[in-house]
Amino acid sequence: MIRNRSAIVALLTGLNFLNYLDRFVVAAVLPSIQADLGLSNFEGGLLATVFLLGYFATSPIFGALGDRASRKVLIAIGVFTWSLATVASGLADGMLALLAARVVVGVGEASYATLAPTIIDDITPPDKKGKTLAIFFLAVPVGSALGYLVGGFVEHRWGWRAAFYVAGGPGMVLSILCLAIVEPERKLAEAKQRIRDALAKLVRIPLYRRAVFGYCAHTWAIGAFAYWAPKFLNKRYDLSLKDADFTFGVVTVVAGAIGTFLGGALADRWLRGLPVPGPDAGHADVANRLAANAQLRVCAVGVAVAAPAAAIAFLMPGGTAFFTAAGVAEVGLFMSAAPINAIMLRTAPVHMRASAMAIAIFAIHLLGDLWSPPLVGLFLDYLPIVAGMMALPVAFAIGAFVWWPRAHEATDPMPEGAG
């Protein structure tokens, strides 16, 4: 059995690497898929949309189940499911089969992404949550970059189908280890609580509501940015797909790691001097809201930097200048990786945290990157490539405005029915 906190964090972080590797291997080999299957940019963008349909539509179900049942079992099932469906993606002989496989990948990843952060939050002391979540969410830039690197490397040598086999295999083995995790004790929600009841309570919490809405704008833009970047580099700067994947992957690793650790460190630093949650429910609520407000400032500063940097990157005449500006943008974008998830956990009642994560995942994809890849793909079909990409920095700027802290929300009384 796995009882050690560091071992549990290491296992869940490793699986998160595979989670994001799988998501972005599609973007890495997308031009080859389009050429083989004869897909337009809009149709290529639909591969991201159907993945998210499976992902966000089932996340509230896993959140509700996770508040009343064994999370490790649900996580193990999810990891095995997404890994098997990834392998099936490489076996697809047409557009419909590939779309079906990506839907199932989304269902499996919904279970993992909803529940894994709640286990880490439960086993981590308050003064280490920022750094621990930063380690876990380091998998976002590194796993995403590995998707580009692995996808580009394998596709160049053995074709796009082999990239899916390589991405899906390890998770099928590691899923078994999840069953050995010893879950921390917690108060389980009563089975009669329904998803709509949890939603009704959570939307009454201003900080939770604003954190989610800002995350929607962030996710809308970063989803399309990550999905179309290799093709943008290929078309605008005449880089080969292999070189575009490799260089963008390296930039994402470096900038993403810097941004993730910077965001986690700033979040912990700006929490110093704030009250620590204690046993008294009222005191704990105020302390959590003060902390969430401080962490929102980290998120807002990050996307405020990313918006102009992304716009400058798309306007750059050469690849080197693009990667420099894009690197700055990615540092800002990944500053929010750890704080935004900590905010959503802090602002929700303890017994509803799995539901809080699930509802947030549902919202950010329904209002975010469910639509942005095909919509930006449609822009790219009919507009100059630079003009088509300019919708993304606008969305980052909207996220910065929504996330900017409002001091009164940290001290106003909790709305009735939210606790």
Residues paired with 181 in a beta bridge: 2
pTM for this prediction: 0.70
The pLDDT tens digits for 319-370 are 899 999 999 999 999 998 878 877 887 777 767 777 787 788 788 888 888 8
* Whole-number percent of the chain with pLDDT over 90: 27
Per the CB < 8 A criterion, the answer to whether 72 and 181 are in contact is: yes
- CA distances in angstroms from 66 to 3, 62, 159, 383, 413, listed in the order given: 19, 6, 39, 44, 29
The pLDDT tens digits for 39-90 are 888 888 888 888 888 887 787 788 778 777 788 999 999 999 999 999 999 9
Q: Where are the domains of the chain?
A: 5-181+193-411
Q: What value does the mean pLDDT of the chain take?
A: 83
- CA distances in angstroms from 326 to 157, 168, 206, 230, listed in the order given: 28, 29, 32, 13
131 token code pair? 């750094």
The alpha carbon of 338 is separated from its chain's Cα centroid by a whole number of angstroms, namely: 10
Residues paired with 2 in a beta bridge: 181
Measured distance CA(331)–CA(335) in Å, rounded: 6
Per the CB < 8 A criterion, the answer to whether 28 and 143 are in contact is: no
DSSP string, 122-188: HHS-GGGHHHHHHHHHTHHHHHHHHHHHHHHHHHHHH-HHHHHHHHHHHHHHHGGGGGGB-PPP-PP
pLDDT given at position 412: 54
107 token code pair? 């269902």
234 token code pair? 């290929």
Measured distance CA(13)–CA(117) in Å, rounded: 10
Lowest mean pLDDT among 102-111, 184-193, 240-249, 262-271: 184-193
Measured distance CA(266)–CA(299) in Å, rounded: 10
CATH T-level topology, domain 5-181+193-411: Growth Hormone; Chain: A; (1.20.1250)
Measured distance CA(209)–CA(5) in Å, rounded: 31
By C-alpha distance, which of 408, 112, 412, 135 is closest to 267? 135
The pLDDT tens digits for 157-190 are 999 999 999 999 898 888 899 998 887 775 554 4
Question: pLDDT band for position 227 (50/70/90)?
Answer: confident
Average pLDDT over residues 196-202: 73
Question: pLDDT band for position 280 (50/70/90)?
Answer: very low
Measured distance CA(328)–CA(336) in Å, rounded: 14
Higher-confidence residue of 419 and 254: namely 254
